Amino acid sequence: MSLEGWYRVEEFAPGTYQITEGGRWKMFLFIGEDKALALDGGVGIGDYRALVESLSDRPVDHVLTHTHWDHIGSAHQWDSVGVHPNGKDRLADDHTERCQQAVRDWADGLPFPPGFEPAGYTIPPATFGHEVKEGDVIDLGGRKLTVFDTPGHSPCSISLLDDKEGVLISGDLVKPLQPLNLRVTTAVLSDYAPSLRKLEKLAGEIKWVCSGHTDAFPDASIIGEMAQFMEELEAGKHDPPRKMNHRLFGEMDVYQATRFSVWIKAHARR
């Protein structure tokens, strides 16, 4: 399958790549002296492993920030992957319905790569290799990534901070200039602010805030803004929300902050 046009590759810091699949989903590649690390795998329509291996001559490990369908798509291309213990039983979930919904609603997306057959699109199961959790350090040789448990968007969500270039990968927890997504069934409002406060303590070390859906953002102060807003939201201090009926996700409440918004459904308020 040709990769041309389907992936966009940007080296936004030395040895640090943001890879955008289909114009929508963000994955990341960190290259050390001994090995490389591919974080998240998009929706798996292209040959992601071939792409990352073309960018580095080091062995490439694969770790997931969480196990939602749009992050796990290429995990089956590795013999095994690293994931938080709360997510290791989700690696074989059936995502066929969500995959087929995606191709049905793709009218405004990039052209699919040559050789892709939408009718048969699904995500094969991945194989659990090792747990990745709070306090773990992934040593690539000459650079290390420290792991933090950051539930809120999902109970298996982790964030990783790179010590060499100050890059924070937050999965879907911190999305500057875009909605914080609490409309998914795994989201829990009460988990959001504590996770954000944990990351806020690292702000002095962070040069780039990255997520699965936003471009690398150079201002870590937004993490504290989000933490405060989520605390206030949980305490009922914000005005009644605007109602929105999304064509894919149904009805939800929308709260607008200065540099982000919050999309939330009733289940996330527990």
Report residue 127 as tokens: 């194989």
pLDDT at residue 269 in the model = 74
Q: Is residue 2 predicted with pLDDT exceeding 70? A: no
pLDDT at residue 4 in the model = 65
Percent of the chain with pLDDT over 70: 98
| CA gap 81, 73 in Å, rounded | 12
pLDDT at residue 15 in the model = 98
CA dihedral of 107, 112, 117, 118, whole degrees rounded to 10:
-30
Q: What CATH number is associated with residue 187?
A: 3.60.15.10
| CA gap 150, 27 in Å, rounded | 18
**How many Å separate Cα 254 from the centre of its chain?**
21
Mean pLDDT of 194-198: 98
Name the nearest CA neighbour of 238 among 194, 269, 196, 270. 269
Using 50, 70 and 90 to split pLDDT, how confident is the model at 3? low
pLDDT at residue 1 in the model = 45
pLDDT at residue 246 in the model = 80
Considering only 31-35, 43-47, 51-55, 247-251, which range has the smallest mean pLDDT?
247-251
pLDDT at residue 221 in the model = 98
Considering only 101-115, 125-139, 170-184, 251-265, which range has the smallest mean pLDDT?
101-115
Considering only 73-82, 100-109, 152-161, 175-184, which range has the smallest mean pLDDT?
100-109
In a domain, 32, yes or no: yes
pLDDT at residue 249 in the model = 77
pLDDT at residue 239 in the model = 86
In a domain, 110, yes or no: yes
Mean pLDDT of 91-107: 93
* Cβ within 8 Å of residue 212, ≥6 positions away: 25, 26, 27, 40, 65, 70, 71, 171, 172
pLDDT tens-digit map of 121-145 = 999 999 999 999 999 999 999 999 9
Domain residues for 252? 7-269
Mean pLDDT, rounded, of the chain: 95
pLDDT at residue 107 in the model = 76
In a domain, 147, yes or no: yes
Q: Do residues 146 and 163 make contact, with C-beta atoms less than 8 angstroms apart?
A: yes
Length of the chain: 270
Mean pLDDT of 62-80: 98
- Sort 120 into a burial class: Cβ within 10 Å, 0-12 / 13-18 / 19+: exposed
**How many Å separate Cα 135 from the centre of its chain?**
19
Mean pLDDT of 234-253: 87
Mean pLDDT of 196-218: 98
The number of domains in the chain is: 1
Q: Do residues 202 and 161 make contact, with C-beta atoms less than 8 angstroms apart?
A: yes
pLDDT at residue 236 in the model = 92
Q: Is residue 267 predicted with pLDDT exceeding 80? A: no
In a domain, 203, yes or no: yes
Mean pLDDT of 85-112: 92
In a domain, 176, yes or no: yes
In a domain, 208, yes or no: yes
**pTM for the full predicted model:** 0.95
Mean pLDDT of 43-56: 96
In a domain, 206, yes or no: yes
* Cβ within 8 Å of residue 201, ≥6 positions away: none
In a domain, 1, yes or no: no
Q: Do residues 174 and 215 make contact, with C-beta atoms less than 8 angstroms apart?
A: no
